[in-house]
Amino acid sequence: MNTVTVRGDLRAMVRAWRLRGERIAFVPTMGNLHAGHGDLVARARKLADRVVVSIFVNPMQFGPNEDFAQYPRTPTEDAALLAKLSADALYIPDATDIYPAGYEHSTFIDVPELSNILCGEFRPGHFRGVATVVVKLFNLVTPDLAVFGEKDFQQLTIIRRVVADLCLSVEIVGAPTMRERDGLAMSSRNRYLSATDRAAAPAIHKALQIARRRLESGNRDFANIEQEGGGALTAAGFSLDYFAVRDSRNLQAPSAATTEFVILTAARIGKARLIDNVCVAAS
Ligand code: PAF
C-alpha cells in the first residue's frame, strides 16, 4: 500500500491509474478504523480496480466545544489494517494540504435544508464542514465511486444531494451499518463509553427496532412513536438530542402518504454522543 501525505503525490498516483483505464473507489474516513470501516473498504475493493482511503480529522466539522482534540488518532494501526484489506493507497494529509494558508472558510458547501435539522440543530456548522471537506477530497482523489456508511444517514443524504446538485461525477454507494453483537452501531466514539455506559448503549438499537415494528404494523402516530423511543432512551440513562421519524428520501417530516421512512436518533451518555438509525419501507 502506498501512503501519500501531499496532494501532488496523490494526484500523480491517481493520474497513472487513470492512464491505464483503472476504476477508482474512495473511502473517506477520520481514522481510528474499526470493522465498520473495514466493511466499507471491502465493498470498495469489489467495485473498483483501485481503492484509496483517506484519514483526515477534519477541524471544520467540529464545533468549538466538541472533541476535535480528543478524537482518537491511531495512524499506525489504521495503516496496518488497510494494508491487510488490500487498499492501494492511504492519503493522510496534514491540515495545510486540505486547508492551505489563506483558506478562510469563506468558500464552502452548504445544504441548509438538510444540514440545519436533526444533528445539525445540535451541531451547528457540522454538515457544512463535512460537505466542504468531502467535495475537496473528491476533487483531490477524483474517484469513480465513493463508499459511505449508512450509520451517518444524514451525512449520506447530504452528500448524495451535493453530488446531484453540483453535477459531480462520482457514484455514491451506501453501506449498511455494522453492529456489535448486542446491536450497538460500530463507531470510533464508542471508545468514549465507560463500562456502565457501554452496558446501557444497546438501548438505542432496541428503541429503534420497537419504532420500526410500530411503523411496519401500520402505526402512523409519528409523535407517539417518537415519544416512546425518546422516553425509552431517557429511561436507560441517555440525555436525548432527538428521536425522529422522517421521510428517508428528504429527511422531512413524513405525511400519511409516506412509504419510505427512516427513524433517526442521537443521544448522549457520559462522554459519548451516539447516533443510529433504521430505514423502514412500509406499504
Ligand atoms: O464520516 C466521517 O468519518 C467524516 O464525516 C468524513 C466523511 C470522513 C468527512 O470528514
Catalytic residue among 37, 105, 126, 205: 37
Please give the DSSP secondary-structure letter assigned to residue 218. T
CB atoms within 10 A of CB 56: 19
Q: Are 35 and 42 in contact (CB under 8 A)?
A: no
pLDDT given at position 256? 86
Does 37 qualify as catalytic in the annotation?
yes
Give residue 102's pLDDT. Answer: 84
pLDDT, block means (10 residues), the chain with 283 residues: 98 98 98 97 98 98 96 97 97 96 89 98 98 98 98 98 98 98 97 98 98 96 98 98 98 94 98 98 84
Residue 103: per-residue pLDDT: 84
Pocket-testing residue among 130, 139, 159, 187, ligand 1, by greatest number of atoms within 8 A of Cβ = 130
The strand order across the sheet containing 171-175 reads: 2-4, 89-91, 50-55, 24-29, 145-149, 171-175
Instruction: Say what the pLDDT of residue 106 is.
Output: 86
pLDDT recorded at residue 160: 98
Unique residue bearing C-alpha cell 459531480? 168
Q: With a 6 A CB cut-off, is 130 part of the ligand 1 pocket?
A: yes
- How many angstroms does the Cα of residue 214 sit away from the middle of ligand 1? 32
> Is the beta carbon of 29 within 6 A of some atom in ligand 1?
yes
Q: Report whether 91 contacts 4 (CB < 8 A).
A: yes
pLDDT at 104: 80
pTM of the shown model: 0.97
pLDDT of residue 144: 98
Q: Is ligand 1 within 6 A of the CB of residue 78?
A: no
